[in-house]
Amino acid sequence: MAVTPEKILSDLIRIDSSNPPGNETAVALYLKKLFNDAGMPGEIIEPEEGRGSFIVRFGKGPKKLLYIAHSDVVPVGDGWDFEPFSGEIKDGVVHGRGALDCKDLIAAEVSAALQLIEEKGPLGGELIVAATADEEIGGRLGAAYLAEKCPELIEADFAVNEGADQPIMINGQLAYFLQVGEKGTAWCTLKVHGTAGHGSIPTLADNAVVKMARAVSRLNNYRAEVIVVPEVEKLLKSLAKLCGIKVQALGPDQVDALLGDLPLEKAFVESLRSMTRMTVSPNQIRGGTKTNIVPDYCEADIDIRILPGQDCEYVEKELRLIISKDIEIEFNEYRAPTFSSSRENFYKLMEEITLDLAGEKAICLPVISAGSTDSKFLRGKGIPSYGIGHMARGFDQQARTTVHGRNERIDIESLQLKTAFLKELARRYLA
């Protein structure tokens, strides 16, 4: 009998793959043994020692479906009520770091694949399962490496990954989400020079930290233009309808008023807000060498997330409306937004299966993410990619706050729902 997803997840949690340093090869070896035992050997791609990704492929036919999830996790921190790497299964819940981000998805993908192998039903195409390293700090040694160095191993018609919000209950209707895109990044460093002087007579100097403080204050008050892409328009209008709010039009001028009226959790509403505009967040400032020396140099790191049609040129133009010309702007990380159409048959099939499993009083809606996942590398190679965050009806709503936080956990019923969804998707698409 195929190993249950909860047993796989428990085992995976007990493998500490906190990144840094990673240790994902230990996860890859565990998965390789599972598939070896099922008579379906996979392979480990290890660009650096200990930083391995696992890939297995089976089935024959022209169609190709990729299941992908990352095997690294963020560090745990203090204040947990249980051992973070225990993998304890208790009262229908699996406990530990990675239970929701995103070893649960690995467990569901692997369990679904092992069940299909055990049933020996013919697949009219190839199912690919990939557990990738290094996602939590950029993916250079994981999905990015696979996409650039060995793209043939992950080539597929479309992919399923993490990335969607967990479902929410609105007036008795359970809203599920499918992630269709991610905002891009245009991270930059602002640099400003001044004139050093003695701290006892600051008026003889030109304080670079003060200059930067003024710029950062202006950035904090910046209000970006509102842009509503079609998928987000559908999302907002559907949510308004579920909440009993009538929306005649949803142009840029109406978005914030609607967001203010939605009776939903603040965190979710702010996530919706981020889908409708560029965001600018000054997150680090460095300047000065000594308390009694007026600093002659200061720099600040700015986290900027952009929508389709926006790039570094657009960002610099916007920043120049806010900050003075004597402040330099240096872009140090740029990645364009990535999207997959919700009009594709792939999306429609995922939506259909989601609603079949969810039962009555459920809806499925597209979302885009303010953050990023490995899907950006797949879309960059022309592979449509969709994120899921499926949970069972009645799941613990408090658990959603444990992602990258304390006491991370998932209920077994939700884990089994993810597994059933992935198994059915492979069956129907690769029929």
Catalytic residues: 72, 135
β-sheet bridge partners, residue 45: 53
C-alpha distances (whole Å) from 340 to each of 129, 304, 412 are 20, 22, 30
C-alpha span between 178 and 166 (Å, rounded):
10
Please tell me whether the peptide bond between 20 and the residue prior to it is cis, using omega within 30 degrees of 0.
yes
Residue type, 32: K
Is residue 327 within 8 Å of 190, Cβ to Cβ?
yes
Please tell me whether the peptide bond between 150 and the residue prior to it is cis, using omega within 30 degrees of 0.
no
DSSP 85-153: T---EETTEEESTTTTTTHHHHHHHHHHHHHHHHHTPPPSEEEEEEEES-GGGTSTTTHHHHHHH-GGG
Residue type, 16: D
C-alpha span between 319 and 222 (Å, rounded):
9
